[in-house]
C-alpha cells in the first residue's frame, strides 16, 4: 500500500459540474473507454485491485477518458477524479463551457498534483479563478492563458508570487498584460524557461526590458506582433539571456540591424530565429547571424525585402546546420543564393522561395543536384516564381526525399509537365492551379437563359 497523502474526495469541491462532465465525456468520438465501462458494469474486475493500482492505470488516461470513467460508478468516480490523475489538463477543446467555477473546482481538487494547465481560448475565465489556482496549485510548471481576454496583471501577480516552479507561461493574444505585469514576471520567475507574449501591444519597451532583466534562464521567447519591441529589447535579451535557443520577433517593425547584432552577440546558442516582416533589416543582420550563431537550424525572414545574395552567402558559409529556411518575398536574391545553399547547407530539409522573382531554372537545377537536395529536402515552395518553366520540373525527379512542391502562379509551367513528374514520382505532391479552359461563346441566336429567382435574362 502507498503511504503518500492525497486529498480526500469529501474534503474537496467537485472538479467539474455535471454539464461539463457530460460534455467532456461524450464530446469525443473515442469509444475505447465506453466499451471498458460497459464491460465493467457486467463484471467489475477492478474491485479486486487495490486503489493504488487503479490510480496508476488511470494516470495514463486523458481528460475525456477520465470523465467517462467517472460516470461508471461511485467508486470509479472517486478514483477517476483523484487529483493525482489530473497532473496534465488541457481544456482547449471545451473552451466555450469553461468558466471560473470549473477552474476553481479544478484547483480545489488537484491541489499540489497539477503540473500543466492549458486554458487556451477560455475567454470566460477571469482573474479570480487564476488567483485561486495559483494559491492552491502552487507546484504548477506550465500555464497557458493564451486568448484569456478577461485575465490581467492582477492574476499574473498571483501566479508569479505563488508558483516558484513555473517553467512555461503563455499570455499571448488576449490577457491584458501591461508593464506592471511584466514587472511581476521579471521579479519572480527565475525558473522560467519558455515565455510566450505574442501580440501584447500594451507592453512598452521598458516593460519587456524588465522581463528579460529578471528571467535570465529563458530558452524560448515569442514576441510576435509586439509593436513596441525594439532594438533596446533585443539588446537586453542578448545581454541577459545567454541560454536562449528560440526567438520569434516576427512583425516587430521597430527591429533594425543594430538590434539583431546586439542580440546575436550574446545569444550564441540560438537554433531558431524568426524575423519575418521586420522590414528594416538588411544583409548586415544576416552577416551578424552567420558570425555569431553557428547552431542555427531554422531562419524565417519572409517579407524582409532588403535581404540579398551577399547576406545569404555569408550566412550559409557559417551556419551549416540549417534545416528550415523561409525566404518568401526576399525578392533581391538570385540563383547565387541557391548555389550557396547547395554548397554549404548539407542538412537543409525545407526551403521557401515563394515570390523570389529572380530565381530561374538554372538555380533550381544546381540546388536539386546537391547532396542535401537528394538526401534531405522534402518541401520546396516556389509559388509565384515567374521565370520557372517545365525544365525545372525535370530537376525534381532526382530529389529522393522530396514529398511536396508548391508551384502556384508559376504560369510558365504546363499541366503536361506536372503530370509527367507525378507519373515518375507518385510520392511527390505538387500543388499548382491551372485555370479552366475558356468556354466557347454562345451564338447570338441561341436560347436565352433566365435567372430562376427573378426570371431576368442572363447575358
What distance in Å separates the CA atoms of residue 30 and residue 355, rounded to the nearest whole number? 43
Rg (CA), the chain: 28
What distance in Å separates the CA atoms of residue 84 and residue 105, rounded to the nearest whole number? 15
Are the C-beta atoms of 229 and 205 separated by less than 8 Å? yes
- Which pLDDT score is estimated for 28? 46
What distance in Å separates the CA atoms of residue 416 and residue 443, rounded to the nearest whole number? 32
Length of the chain measured in residues: 459
Query: Computed from CA positions of residues 376, 404, 304, 171, in that sequence, does the dihedral angle turn out positive or negative?
Result: negative
Query: Computed from CA positions of residues 380, 383, 384, 388, in that sequence, does the dihedral angle turn out positive or negative?
Result: positive
Exposure letters 224-233 (e unless 16+ CB within 10 A, then b) = bbbebbbbbb
Exposure letters 322-342 (e unless 16+ CB within 10 A, then b) = bbbbbbbbbbbbbbbbbbbbb
Q: Smallest Cα–Cα separation from 368: which of 395, 337, 408, 392?
A: 395
pLDDT tens profile 9-55: 333 233 444 444 554 554 444 444 445 445 544 556 677 788 888 88
The whole-model pTM stands at 0.83
Instruction: Extract the C-alpha cell encoding 303.
Output: 517579407
**DSSP H helical segments within 81-152, as ranges?**
100-110, 127-136
Instruction: Extract the C-alpha cell encoding 410.
Output: 508559376
The Cα angle at residue 273 between residues 229 and 90, in degrees rounded to 5:
85
Q: Smallest Cα–Cα separation from 282: which of 261, 259, 303, 311?
A: 311
- Which pLDDT score is estimated for 34? 46
- Which pLDDT score is estimated for 205? 97
Q: Reduced to 3 states, what is the DSSP secondary structure of residue 142?
A: strand
- Which pLDDT score is estimated for 458? 45
- Which pLDDT score is estimated for 95? 64
Q: Smallest Cα–Cα separation from 57: which of 40, 41, 256?
A: 40
- Which pLDDT score is estimated for 437? 63
Neighbour tally for 74: CB within 10 Å: 9
Instruction: Extract the C-alpha cell encoding 116.
Output: 500543466
Q: Reduced to 3 states, what is the DSSP secondary structure of residue 104?
A: helix
The Cα angle at residue 194 between residues 193 and 200, in degrees rounded to 5:
135
Given a cut of 70, the residues of the chain with pLDDT beneath it are 1-45, 95, 188, 437-459
- Which pLDDT score is estimated for 14? 39
Beta bridge partners of 406: 381, 431
Are the C-beta atoms of 206 and 181 separated by less than 8 Å? no
What distance in Å separates the CA atoms of residue 182 and residue 434, rounded to the nearest whole number? 51
**DSSP H helical segments within 267-344, as ranges?**
283-292, 309-318, 335-344
Amino acid at each position: 500500500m502507498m503511504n503518500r497523502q492525497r486529498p480526500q474526495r469529501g474534503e474537496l469541491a467537485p472538479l467539474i459540474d455535471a454539464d461539463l462532465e457530460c460534455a467532456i465525456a461524450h464530446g469525443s468520438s473515442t469509444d475505447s473507454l465506453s466499451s471498458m465501462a460497459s464491460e465493467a458494469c457486467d463484471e467489475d474486475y477492478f474491485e479486486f485491485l487495490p486503489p493504488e493500482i487503479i490510480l496508476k492505470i488511470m494516470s495514463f488516461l486523458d481528460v475525456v477518458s477520465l470523465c467517462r470513467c467517472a460516470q461508471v460508478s461511485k467508486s470509479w468516480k472517486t478514483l477517476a477524479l483523484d487529483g493525482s490523475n489530473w497532473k496534465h489538463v488541457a481544456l482547449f477543446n471545451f473552451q466555450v463551457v469553461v468558466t471560473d467555477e470549473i477552474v476553481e473546482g479544478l484547483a480545489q481538487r488537484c491541489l499540489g498534483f497539477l503540473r500543466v494547465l492549458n486554458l487556451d481560448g477560455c475567454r470566460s475565465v477571469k482573474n479570480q479563478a487564476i488567483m485561486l489556482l495559483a494559491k492552491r496549485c502552487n507546484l504548477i510548471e506550465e500555464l497557458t492563458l493564451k486568448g484569456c481576454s478577461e485575465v490581467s496583471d492582477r492574476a499574473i501577480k498571483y501566479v508569479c508570487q505563488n508558483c516558484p516552479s513555473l517553467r512555461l507561461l503563455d499570455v499571448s493574444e488576449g490577457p491584458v498584460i501591461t508593464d506592471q505585469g511584466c514587472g511581476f514576471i521579471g521579479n519572480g520567475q527565475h525558473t522560467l524557461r519558455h515565455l510566450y507574449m505574442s501580440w501584447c501591444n500594451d507592453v512598452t519597451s521598458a516593460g519587456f526590458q524588465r522581463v528579460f532583466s529578471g528571467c535570465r534562464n529563458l530558452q524560448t521567447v515569442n514576441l510576435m506582433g509586439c509593436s513596441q519591441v525594439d532594438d533596446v529589447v533585443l539588446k537586453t535579451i542578448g545581454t541577459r539571456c545567454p541560454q536562449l535557443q528560440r526567438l520569434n520577433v516576427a512583425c516587430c517593425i521597430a527591429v533594425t540591424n543594430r538590434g539583431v547584432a546586439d542580440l546575436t552577440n550574446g545569444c550564441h546558442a540560438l537554433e531558431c530565429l524568426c524575423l519575418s516582416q521586420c522590414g528594416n533589416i538588411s544583409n548586415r543582420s544576416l552577416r551578424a547571424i552567420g558570425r555569431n550563431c553557428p547552431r542555427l537550424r531554422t531562419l524565417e525572414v519572409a517579407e524582409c525585402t532588403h535581404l540579398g545574395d551577399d547576406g545569404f552567402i555569408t550566412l550559409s558559409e557559417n551556419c551549416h546546420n540549417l534545416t528550415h529556411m523561409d525566404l518568401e518575398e526576399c525578392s533581391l536574391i538570385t540563383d547565387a543564393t541557391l548555389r550557396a545553399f547547395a554548397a554549404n547547407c548539407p542538412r537543409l530539409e525545407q526551403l521557401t522561395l515563394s515570390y523570389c522573382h529572380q530565381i530561374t531554372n538554372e538555380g533550381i537545377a544546381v540546388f536539386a543536384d546537391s547532396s542535401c537536395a537528394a538526401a534531405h529536402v522534402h518541401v520546396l515552395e516556389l509559388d509565384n516564381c515567374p521565370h520557372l518553366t517545365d525544365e525545372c520540373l525535370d530537376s525534381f525527379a532526382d530529389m529522393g526525399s522530396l514529398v511536396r512542391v508548391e508551384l502556384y502562379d508559376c504560369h510558365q509551367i504546363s499541366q503536361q509537365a506536372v503530370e509527367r513528374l507525378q507519373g515518375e514520382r507518385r510520392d511527390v505532391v505538387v500543388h499548382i492551379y491551372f485555370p479552366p479552359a475558356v468556354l466557347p461563346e454562345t451564338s447570338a441566336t441561341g436560347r436565352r437563359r433566365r435567372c430562376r429567382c427573378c426570371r431576368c435574362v442572363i447575358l
